[in-house]
């Protein structure tokens, strides 16, 4: 692969990593605001349940897959110097699918009570139920903004423009926080629902429309269902509409099975999941999103060997999330206390959430890796196989959730989530290797085994060290928890890098050398 292409991927990755990092930081402040206002109680459960029906609509409209399905089609027109026809297909998709989505939104608003009772059958409190229904109706219209904004962002990605799309999640999260702060004192958790609607409108619709126009977007109302590429788009998208993805099933099962648990369990599961998703988003989502347009181009040019190298290099880089997960397991109580314990989020909520967090962190790498592996199939314009595979894997995992809930309660739901994610991504990567003749996958497996063993050993040792020598530190206080996190993080990083040099793990030493080089330049400057 040319150095120029790697440089473009590096720049795109840097933009998306900064965006995802800032988005996760702001998202963390969003969750902190929610925790402050509602703690781990029934109102927060209602707020979380209110997202399920909108998320199902978002999934059916394939709003989250627009970049995946639209970019290869639009890139083909750009490669053939026929951009005008590309805009025609864009207009067809926007008009046809947008109109259908609006009809679905209206139907969901009308039948919201019946739909909520189906997706949260364990919810018995009539007050919490009515709040979940009302907030569902408020959030539903935002799905049109996500759909149209997804197309606007896909256009910009295809034109290799990443900055404006990178702002979408930032403004969305800021909108939620603003809604909660401005209206929370008068209407409670419902305020955050209005923030969702406002943030989606500004960040995902208005701003992305401006960015797409600057990229040359041309739109005209069109209902020509006979266009061959509209049919091609539908064929690519249908499997994604009706297939069950890992992220979608995670959000659904968390709330479905959580509704049978004591009040506040859904809230605690969600808080733990958001902490885990910070690392998933920073490592997996950022790199996967940035690399995908280049993977799609390599696929179009039939440069499969280079595409495999890019995918494998990306996965090996993502493995760095494993030691971070091990460290976070050791510091689980302190992390939750620092982030959430204030307002209505008390010590009991911290204890509940930190216990759940351990089991969620076990699946961090699987969620990060899945965002990359599945894009290999999408780049080859094969959406059917991952959709069918994902649906089968999700259905097979249901007994894991049920058994986990019965044996371990809310912690069992978290463990089932992680086990299901690992099984899915391992099998999916193995199938990709078989289908694409990926002869370089052995290096990925070996490095993953090494990094997992090293991280597990260090995690156990640090858990022992923490209990044996740092037990006198008052981690029930904010300052004590901050001191514990700072000290163990610095010690963990030093020991981990030293182990990398001693065991000659090239991936670790390369990262350490690059960081040292950059620090040296900054110091000299």
CA dihedral 329, 331, 337, 338 (to 10 degrees): -120
pTM of the model: 0.80
Average pLDDT rounded to a whole number, residues 18-35: 82
pLDDT computed for residue 172 by the predictor: 93
Is 60 exceeded by the pLDDT of residue 319? yes
Average pLDDT over residues 436-440: 80
Smallest CA-to-CA distance from 371 within 467, 295, 275 is with 295
- pLDDT for 464 equals 96
**Which residue did the predictor score with more confidence, 17 or 320?**
320
CA distance 127 to 132: 9
pLDDT-derived band of residue 313, with 50, 70 and 90 as boundaries?
confident
Residue 116, in any domain of the structure:
yes
Q: Is residue 169 part of a domain?
A: yes
Please state, in angstroms and rounded to a whole number, the distance separating the CA atoms of residues 57 and 60: 5
Mean pLDDT throughout 101-116?
94
Residue 347 domain-assigned?
no
Give mean pLDDT, residues 54-59: 83
Q: How many CB atoms neighbour CB 47 within 10 A?
A: 28
Looking at the domain assignment, is residue 61 inside a domain?
Answer: yes
**Cβ contact 430:275 at 8 Å:** no
Does residue 236 sit within a domain?
A: no
Two tokens at 490? 């610095």
Helix (H) or strand (E) holding 366: helix 364-379
Alpha helices in 66-162 (DSSP H): 66-79, 83-110, 112-119, 126-139, 142-158
Q: What percent of the chain has pLDDT over 90?
A: 42
Which range, of 215-224, 234-243, 332-341, averages the lowest pLDDT? Answer: 234-243
Reported as a pLDDT band with limits 50, 70 and 90, residue 1 is very low
Q: Is residue 156 part of a domain?
A: yes
Residue 521 binned pLDDT confidence (cut-offs 50, 70, 90): low
For the chain, the domain total comes to 1
Instruction: Say if residues 49 and 132 touch (Cβ distance below 8 Å).
Output: yes
Mean pLDDT check: name the lowest of 175-184, 249-258, 346-355: 249-258
pLDDT exceeds 50 at position 149: yes
Check residue 67 and give its pLDDT.
60
Count other Cβ atoms within 10 Å, centred on residue 90.
27
Complete DSSP assignment for 219-283? ------TT-HHHHHHHHHHHHHHHS--HHHHHHHHHHHHHTTSSTTHHHHHHHHHHHHHHHIIII
> Does 85 reside within a domain?
yes
Residue 120 and residue 259 in contact, taking contact as beta carbons nearer than 8 Å: yes
52 vs 198: CA distance, rounded Å: 18
For residue 123, what are the domain limits?
Answer: 42-224
Across 343-469, the runs of DSSP E, i.e. the strands, are none
């Amino acid at each position: 692969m040319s150095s120029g292409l790697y440089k473009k991927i590096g720049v795109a990755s840097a933009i998306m990593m900064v965006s995802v990092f800032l988005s996760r930081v702001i998202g963390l402040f969003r969750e902190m605001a929610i925790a402050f206002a509602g703690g781990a109680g029934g109102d927060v459960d209602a707020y979380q349940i209110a997202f399920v029906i909108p998320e199902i609509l978002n999934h059916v409209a394939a709003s989250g897959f627009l970049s995946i399905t639209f970019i290869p089609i639009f890139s083909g027109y750009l490669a053939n110097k026929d951009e005008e026809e590309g805009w025609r297909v864009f207009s067809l998709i926007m008009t046809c699918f947008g109109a259908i989505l609006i009809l679905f939104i209206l139907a969901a608003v009308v039948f919201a009570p019946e739909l909520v009772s189906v997706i949260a059958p364990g919810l018995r409190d009539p007050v919490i139920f009515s709040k979940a229904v009302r907030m569902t109706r408020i959030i539903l219209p935002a799905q049109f903004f996500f759909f149209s904004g997804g197309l606007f962002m896909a256009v910009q990605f295809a034109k290799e423009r990443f900055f404006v799309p990178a702002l979408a999640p930032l403004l969305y999260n800021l909108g939620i926080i603003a809604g909660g702060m401005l209206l929370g004192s008068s209407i409670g958790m419902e305020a955050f629902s209005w923030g969702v609607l406002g943030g989606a409108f500004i960040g995902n619709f208005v701003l992305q429309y401006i960015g797409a126009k600057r990229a040359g977007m041309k739109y005209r109302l069109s209902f020509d269902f006979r266009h061959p590429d509209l049919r091609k788009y539908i064929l690519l998208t249908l499997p994604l509409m009706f297939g069950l993805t890992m992220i979608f099933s995670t959000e659904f099962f968390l709330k479905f099975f959580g509704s049978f648990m004591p009040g506040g369990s859904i809230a605690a599961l969600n808080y733990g999941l958001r902490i885990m998703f910070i690392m998933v988003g920073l490592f997996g989502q950022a790199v996967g999103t940035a690399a995908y347009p280049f993977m799609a181009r390599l696929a179009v040019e039939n440069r499969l060997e280079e595409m495999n190298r890019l995918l494998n290099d990306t996965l090996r880089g993502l493995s760095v999330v494993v030691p971070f997960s091990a460290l976070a397991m050791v510091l689980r109580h302190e992390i939750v206390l620092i982030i959430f314990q204030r307002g209505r989020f008390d010590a009991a909520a911290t204890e509940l959430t930190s216990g759940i967090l351990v089991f969620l962190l076990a699946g961090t790498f699987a969620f990060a890796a899945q965002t990359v592996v599945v894009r290999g199939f999408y780049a080859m314009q094969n959406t059917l196989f991952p959709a069918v595979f994902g649906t089968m894997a999700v259905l097979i995992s249901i007994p894991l959730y049920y058994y986990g809930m019965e044996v371990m309660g809310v912690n069992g739901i978290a463990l089932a989530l992680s086990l299901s994610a690992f099984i899915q991504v391992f099998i999916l990567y193995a199938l990709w290797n078989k289908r694409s003749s990926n002869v370089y996958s052995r290096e990925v497996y070996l490095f993953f085994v090494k990094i997992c063993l090293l991280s597990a050993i260090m995690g156990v040792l640090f858990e022992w060290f923490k209990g044996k020598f740092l037990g006198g530190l008052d981690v029930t206080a904010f300052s004590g928890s901050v001191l514990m996190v700072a000290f163990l993080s610095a010690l963990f990083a030093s020991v981990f890098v030293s182990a990398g040099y001693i065991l000659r793990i090239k991936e670790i030493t390369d990262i350490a050398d690059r960081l040292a080089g950059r620090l040296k330049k900054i110091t000299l400057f």
